[in-house]
Amino acid sequence: MRCIIKFTKRNNRVMGEVMSGDSKKGVVDLLTLGITRILESRPGVTDVKFVEKEPAERHVILSWELRHCCILPEDLRDFYLTTDGFQLTWSARFDGQPVPLGSMVINSVCALSPLCESPLYSLPSAPTLADLDSESDSEGVESQPVKPHFDSRSRIFELDACNGNGKVCLVYRNVKPRLVAQQCEVWFLDRALYWHFLTESFTAYYRLMVTHLGLPEWQYRFTKHGPSPQTKQWSCLYRPITSSCDLHTDQGEPFLNKLDPNRAFRGKAKLPTPKKKIATQSTGAQRGRNVGASAARK
C-alpha cells in the first residue's frame, strides 16, 4: 500500500486529501514537492529536517475567519486541512561544522496573527505604524498593485517572520469596517517597513518558497535593493537558476556553473625565447668576423 496526497480543488475537496497507506516519505515528498531529496543530493547540505504536523480542524479555521472577519483563500484553507503549518530547515557544512542556512516556514492557523506593533511603542506619544502611511506610497506603480496600509484600510496577517529579516504577510486590502474581507495577496514587509508585492495567491508563494530553497533573504530578490552579497553567493552555490533565470541550454536544460580545475588552476605557460634578438646578435657577430678578415688581408 502507498500513501498518496491529491492536490485538487474540485468539488471543494481538500487540497491534501491523504489516502490510506504506510509510506510517510511519500507524504513528505508530495508536501515538499520533492525538495528534501533535492537538498540531500546537494554537496555540503546536511541536517535536512521536515517537521510533520497534523491537519488543522475545520472548526479552528472557521473560528479564525469569524474572529478576524476574513475568509481564507481556498488554496490556503486546503493547505491547512492538509497540514497545520509548514517547517523545513537545512544546514550547510562549512569548515567541517554544520551552519544553519535554509528555512521554509508557514505559520499555523493559531499563529496566523495580525501584524502588531512592539510593546516598546505603546506609549501615548509614541509613533504608530499608521504614521508611516503616505499618499505617495498609496499610489503604487503601474506594474504593481497599490501598497497595503497599516491602518484599518488593510488587514494584515503574518505568514512567516523570516528569522528577523522581514515579514511575509497575508494582506487584505481595501477592507470596510464590519464587512467580511475575501480577496487577499501575499506581500513582503522588509526591515525598513517598506512593502513589496510577492504573489497574488498562496499557491504561487508556496512555489516561490520551495524553489528558492528557503535561503536567507530570498524575498529581497523581489525588492529594488536585492539580497546581500553573502546571500547571492549562497544562492549561486545551491540554486544557480534563481541567480540567472535566463541561463538555459538549447535543449532546455538549466545552465549550471561548472569548474574545470585543469583549466582554472594550470600554471602559466613559459614564454618562448625571443628569436629576433638571437638573430640580431648572430648578424652582428658575422659582421665583426668579416671586418676582421678584411683588415688581415690589408
pLDDT digits over 114-142, tens only? 987 555 445 555 556 665 665 545 454 55
pLDDT top residue among 11 and 62 = 62
- Answer yes or no: is pLDDT of 19 > 50: no
- Rounded Cα distance between 268 and 21, Å, is 62
DSSP secondary structure of 134-175: -HHHHH--TTSPPPP-SSTT-EEEEEE-GGGT-EEEEEE-S-
pLDDT top residue among 90 and 29 = 90
Residue 38 CB burial class (10 angstroms; 0-12, 13-18, ≥19): middle
- Assess contact for 152 and 177: CB atoms under 8 A: yes
Cα 228 to Cα 90, 233, 234: the distances in Å are 20, 9, 10
- Assess contact for 234 and 101: CB atoms under 8 A: yes
- Rounded Cα distance between 31 and 145, Å, is 30
Cell of 224: 529594488
- Assess contact for 205 and 107: CB atoms under 8 A: no
Helices (H), the chain: 24-31, 35-41, 58-68, 74-82, 135-139, 202-211, 229-238, 240-243, 261-264, 275-297
pLDDT digits over 143-189, tens only? 667 899 888 889 999 999 999 999 999 999 999 988 999 999 999 99
Residue 168 phi, psi dihedral angles, 5° rounding:
-90, 125
5-116+146-249 is classed in which CATH architecture? 3-Layer(aba) Sandwich (3.40)
Cell 629576433, located at residue = 276
Cell of 47: 541536517
- Rounded Cα distance between 292 and 287, Å, is 9
Note the pTM of the prediction, 2 decimals.
Answer: 0.69
pLDDT top residue among 5 and 80 = 80
* Mean pLDDT, rounded, for 231-242: 73
Q: Which residues contact 262 (CB under 8 A, 6 or more apart)?
A: none
263 confidence band (pLDDT: 50, 70, 90): low
- Rounded Cα distance between 225 and 223, Å, is 5
